[in-house]
């Protein structure tokens, strides 16, 4: 493989000049020897007038046992502390309970109108409750809202028992989903987050779960921004104080036990940039809100997120040998977002590394190189270049002719 770094984008005018220059060079000097080097990738970046770079200060002091600030689209972690240390999640556990219920709804195994019979165990649950009554039937929709908005332990257990038969069996299902999401530092033993010796997670794992919940279930995620819910003539407010303080915040979940401290997962959307903030083990309700707000403000003030390339869009073509076609379209399997300090967009460079020889047959989605993004000379992200279509083997004559041509490459 070989590669070339492209000049950074500076303005619409330099972008146009650069594009024309690269196109002229590409038409007359496409290499056919030890590799294909592509210099047009930067031309696909969105147009932008560069803004003056500002200094990026250190992360503010965050009074929490562990924390993380992450961009939702790029997945880039902006700030973190003790993010892989195992800690108690308290009621943040209910995000996994909700994720499973949402999955059951999507699969058609449940409906929002399904009635759930409340067991004595669910009815007797202590802590935060939505005040369901034993042996009464409650709609799945009401139980979900009672769990999401009111953080009802009773609602969580009722849902868990309905789906899996018992809370213990549901916990096994939770661990299965956690493993699927890559939450390898997590183990659940209940659906509520009540303290238990073998019930733990990490800040990093909670970020994976939060991102999955938002991306997989956007319609249900909207319920996390609801400020109050009334059930059985009892009105309760959402415990996430940031829903009232910050108009950009639209979730997600609070948690508290004496051993876990005060916890909060927040998400905010501002100018198409979504950030996820997680703080565990703060000292008070006010502290979890204050420290979360610090992280969100820091991220929005000093960083920006851009989508550089769209999924399944052709970034380049490459010669393919012994195939029914001579050209293979290459692109990315997923949208490529990048989070960088504000004012540094013009310092980005992009290049491609493409396999030296690509031989048919080729299957759509197979990897044949990489896109490299660097900022001021330092690597930032690398993504596989994948085939955007399948190409079968060519005729016997085509294969023979290309075999001979390859001898001179």
Residue keyed to tokens 């290309």: 402
Q: Which residue has the tokens 């490529």?
A: 336
Candidates 91, 128, 266, 267; catalytic one: 91
Q: Which residues touch 301 (CB under 8 Å, ≥6 apart)?
A: 342
8 Å CB contact between 95 and 267: no
Answer for the pair 140, 159: CB distance below 8 angstroms, yes or no. Answer: yes
- For tokens 């999507």, the residue is 106
Give the span between the Cα atoms of 244 and 266, in whole angstroms: 13
Beta strands at 303-309 and 336-341: parallel, antiparallel or unpaired: antiparallel
Q: Identify the CA nearest to 71 among candidates 251, 288, 337.
A: 337
* CA pair distance 211, 79, nearest whole angstrom: 16
Judge whether 228 and 146 are in contact, CB under 8 Å.
no
Q: d(Cα 189, Cα 198) in Å, to the nearest integer?
A: 7
Cβ–Cβ < 8 Å for 396, 408 = no
Give catalytic status of residue 392 as yes or no.
Answer: no
Is 277 catalytic? The answer is no
Q: Which residue(s) pair with 254 in the sheet?
A: 264
Q: What is the 8-class DSSP label of residue 402?
A: H
91 is known as an active-site residue: yes
Burial class (CB in 10 A: 0-12, 13-18, 19+), 286: exposed
Which of 94, 211, 290, 322 is an active site residue? 94
Q: From the candidates 151, 266, 292, 318, which is the catalytic residue?
A: 151
Separation of CA 10 from chain center = 29
Burial (CB count within 10 angstroms: exposed 0-12, middle 13-18, buried 19+), residue 374: middle
C-alpha–C-alpha distance, residues 322 and 303, integer Å: 47
Query: CA 389 to CA 163: how far, in whole Å?
Result: 41
| Cβ–Cβ < 8 Å for 280, 193 | no
- For residue 362, the 8-state DSSP code is B
Q: Could you list the active site residues? A: 91, 94, 151
């Amino acid at each position: 493989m070989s590669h070339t770094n492209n000049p950074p984008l500076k303005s619409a005018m330099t972008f146009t000049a650069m594009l024309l220059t690269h196109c002229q060079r590409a038409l007359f000097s496409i290499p056919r020897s030890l590799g294909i080097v592509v210099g047009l990738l930067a031309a696909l970046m969105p147009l932008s007038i560069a803004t003056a770079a500002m200094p990026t200060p250190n992360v503010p002091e965050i009074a929490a046992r562990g924390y993380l600030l992450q961009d939702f689209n790029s997945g880039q972690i902006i700030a973190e502390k003790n993010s892989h240390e195992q800690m108690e999640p308290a009621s943040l556990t209910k995000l996994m309970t909700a994720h499973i219920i949402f999955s059951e709804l999507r699969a058609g195994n449940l409906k929002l109108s399904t009635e759930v019979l409340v067991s004595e165990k669910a009815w007797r649950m202590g802590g935060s409750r939505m005040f369901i009554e034993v042996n009464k039937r409650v709609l799945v929709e009401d139980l979900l809202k009672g769990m999401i908005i009111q953080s009802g332990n009773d609602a969580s257990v009722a849902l868990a028992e309905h789906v899996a038969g018992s809370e213990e069996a549901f916990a096994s299902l939770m661990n299965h989903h956690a493993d699927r999401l890559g939450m390898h530092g997590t183990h659940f033993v209940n659906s509520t987050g009540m303290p238990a010796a073998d019930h733990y997670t990490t800040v990093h794992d909670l970020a994976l779960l939060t991102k999955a919940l938002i991306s997989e279930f956007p319609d249900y995620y909207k319920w996390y921004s609801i400020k109050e819910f009334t059930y059985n003539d009892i009105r309760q407010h959402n415990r996430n104080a940031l829903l009232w303080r910050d108009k950009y915040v639209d979730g997600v979940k609070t948690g508290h036990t004496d051993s876990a401290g005060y916890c909060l997962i927040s998400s905010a959307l501002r100018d198409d940039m979504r950030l996820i903030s997680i703080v565990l083990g703060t000292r008070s309700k006010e502290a979890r809100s204050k420290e979360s707000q610090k992280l969100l403000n820091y991220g929005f003030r000093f960083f920006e997120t851009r989508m550089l390339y769209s999924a399944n869009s052709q970034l380049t073509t490459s010669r393919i040998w012994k195939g029914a076609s001579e050209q293979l379209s290459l692109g990315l399997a997923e949208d490529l977002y990048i989070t960088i300090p504000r004012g540094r967009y013009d310092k980005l460079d992009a290049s491609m590394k493409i396999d030296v020889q690509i031989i048919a047959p080729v299957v759509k989605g197979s990897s044949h190189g990489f896109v490299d993004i660097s900022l001021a000379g330092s690597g930032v992200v690398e993504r596989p270049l994948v085939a955007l279509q399948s190409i079968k083997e060519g005729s016997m004559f085509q294969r023979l002719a290309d075999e001979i041509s390859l001898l001179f490459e």
